Structure 1
């Protein structure tokens, strides 16, 4: 494959043949890494338009009863009206996947809200409680009972939260179902209930799927912009997925001590860090003046070049942030290329020549 680079400023074009003749040629723009370029790239990142997540932001609201919830109802001084609702279920219900599992496997005690959002209560008859808060449902029941009882005192609460749930998947400690209860289900709350993000998780790649639409959430970026991640409110049926750092890798190859694929740290990795984690430029064969970063931009490719021998090169490398799937390549010196070419043409010729040139002991 032929790889052509062209410097926009000077019009200079260079071709590096890496395969047989007749293959496709890929053109790429060559941009020298300079302090001005580093500043421009940083400004573009800061001005970059991110996905609108305003639909996810909101304020916490009281929990509303829905189909599947189990209510505990007590009418004071009238135990005959609330016998079933006072039977204990053997522990706290409605928090996390375990609670949801126990609620679906054991027969719940209390008044179950049916598929139409109704409950049946003595004297009050069928009551539609779906969509009401606990206080609203209690007041409605007390109003119904006041026709038969004098100033009835009613206690109504949700005993088992079974109607609303979200799903947390990916790089969290305890992936699975999270039942929504009277504590507002924010994105931070859901992640904490799942045991938190694992070290292998990328906090800049959190996806919230709502009604078939994926919202990309960059938690460190939100905090940097002054947006509290706790203001992202989840609703019933949302799916939260924390992607792995392995999905956003940078590849370092060429004349470095340890070529490797490096994961990014919460969406961030500089050129200096990538070279450092690869052991640096190989002192025997690496050409510090030819450090390249190959980046795909749409259908085109952009090649950034850093001259590591120039003053301030380390500062520019530290300020130049890489993007996922970038390829960092360090070219070999002309002497190393000549040595390899001779070794391919005449295997062992150089070592034999060196041995013949050394005086016999």
Structure 2
């Protein structure tokens, strides 16, 4: 008779499955990972998520985020200082004979027709170009050092030189083309590239606006500034929370500003959840509760709410494993307070019954189905 044979097979499968699954019923097998690898390295210990652990994590995160950016904060920026490469427009009133001197340095001796062609070719507007030594050449004044001076200071210096030849000279001097100081904007902005520093102070927000603003994929919590081989991480939202006006973060010539993408700060949710997926952090913040919620939550059929893990790779290269028991009192509040970090992996382990069913199906495919089929026949 076939029925006892099938039943015996099922009983044998169940007995063998109990032995095989004895070590699997505990959930995520971190303890046996070293033996499977054969390297003899100890598995990372599992740390339970508690109120004390969350407080320690918050303190560590605050220390990591604390960075001295006082060198970037300038509340009263100085006026623009003339630099090498700038083009100056100079007018001496009542002396039109000096107006012809305002020509590009490369075409100072050219006629009007040649001058127009040279200007178009070199894209240099008419004016007095500050040479590499920070000087301009002006009639009667000779070589005039103007680098590092403001427009007002350069005008006063030129008036002083011309006073030896012209009575009470009335001079107008301004920067016609700003070419000596630039910053570079890269990353998640509409128009990345070079931005010239002009008479309007180049703050961080000014630079971002000139680059067309932030893209929807930009991470406002990860804006990097590179200056003199130093790296500064700027979190715009955190600055506002601290009462620091982002307009007071001033850029200097040669600064590199990079706006990171939110896709670089992903968190991965896998295991026994409704919808395993990768999630982008919300301007640098995503809690464990939010990650589980956006993934549909723990599967009611196969998930084990007692075994919710967070696997994290530290900057030093070590691996840390955190566990949350969602059945404990206050676990939801702790999940909301536990902040994830970029590249964290959230894993929900299967329940012991789900593990038993899956492994039994792998060991003896069709055994349970055959047993059910026999018992239900008339």
Match of 1:97 in 2: none
Contact 2:103 2:128 in 1 (8 A): no
Q: Deviations over 1:251-279 (max 9, x none)?
A: 11111112122121221100011111112
Higher strand share: 1
Q: Are residues 277 and 26 of structure 1, via their aligned partners in 2, closer, same or farther at CA, if it must alter by over 3 Å?
A: farther
The corresponding residue for 1:331 is 349
**Which deviations, in whole Å up to 9, do the C-alpha atoms of 1:77-118 show, x marking residues without a partner?**
11221235499xxxxxxxxxxxxxx99951321111111111
Matches within 5 A, 1:215-234: 215-234=232-251
1:84–1:109 CA contact under 8 A, matched in 2: no
Please identify runs of 4+ aligned residues in structure 1 that moved more than 6 A.
none
- The residue that corresponds to 2:369 in the other structure is 351
1:42 corresponds, among 48, 51, 58, to: 58
Q: Unmatched 5+ residue regions in structure 1?
A: 1-12, 88-101
Confirm or deny: 8 A CA contact 2:227 2:254 kept in the other structure: yes
- Residue 38 of structure 2 aligns to a residue whose secondary structure is coil
1:231-246 pair list within 5 angstroms: 231-246=248-263
Counterpart CA distance in 2 for 1:318 and 1:103 is: 62
Tell me, what secondary structure is at the counterpart of 1:25? coil
1:183 pairs with 2:209: no
SS in 2 for 1:317: helix
Query: Post-superposition shift, 1:244?
Result: 1.4
Match of 2:164 in 1: 147
So what's the TM-score if we normalise by structure 2? 0.82
Specify the SS of the correspondent of 2:202.
Answer: coil
C-alpha separation in 1, matches of 2:33 and 2:62:
37
1:317 corresponding residue in structure 2: 335
CA RMSD of aligned residues (A): 2.4
List per-residue Cα deviations over 1:292-349 (Å, max 9, x = no partner): 1122333433222111122222211111111122111100001110111011112233
Question: 1:248 is matched with which residue: 249, 262, 265?
Answer: 265
Judging by fraction of residues, say which structure has more helix: 2
Contact 2:30 2:44 in 1 (8 A): no
Which piece of structure 1 moves more, 141-150 or 216-225?
216-225
Rounded to whole Å, the distance in 1 between the matches of 2:50 and 2:121 is 62
CA–CA distance in structure 2, aligned partners of residues 130 and 22 of structure 1: 68
The match for 1:83 is: 100
Q: What's 1:291 paired with?
A: 308
| Distance verdict in 2 for CA 1:259–1:159, change over 3 Å | same
Partner residue, 2:31: 15
Counterparts of 1:66 and 1:349 in 2: how far apart (Å)? 85
Q: Cα offset for 1:233?
A: 1.5
> Deviation per CA, 1:142-193, whole angstroms, max 9, x where unpaired?
1111111121111110000011100000111110000000001111111111
Question: In 2, Cα distance between the equivalents of 1:132 and 1:21?
Answer: 68
Give the superposition deviation at 1:247: 1.7
Distance 1:296 1:243, change over 3 A: same
Counterpart secondary structure, 2:206: helix
Given that 1:74 and 1:86 are in contact with CA atoms closer than 8 Å, whether structure 2 keeps it comes out as no
**Counterpart Cα distance in 1 of 2:132 and 2:241:** 44
Cα distance between partner residues in 2 of 1:268 and 1:104: 51
Moved more, 309-318 or 181-190: 309-318
> What TM-score, normalized to structure 1?
0.85
Which structure is larger by alpha-carbon Rg, 1 or 2?
2
Q: How many equivalent residue pairs?
A: 334
Deviation at 1:47, TM superposition (A): 4.4
In 2 relative to 1, CA 286–73 (structure 1 residues): closer, same or farther, beyond 3 Å? same
SS of aligned partner of 2:44: strand
Cα–Cα, structure 1 residues 123 and 311, in superposed 2: closer, same or farther, change >3 Å?
same
Of 233-242 and 176-185, more deviation after overlay is shown by 233-242
Relative contact order higher in (CA < 8 Å, ≥ 6 apart): 2
1:28 counterpart residue number: 44
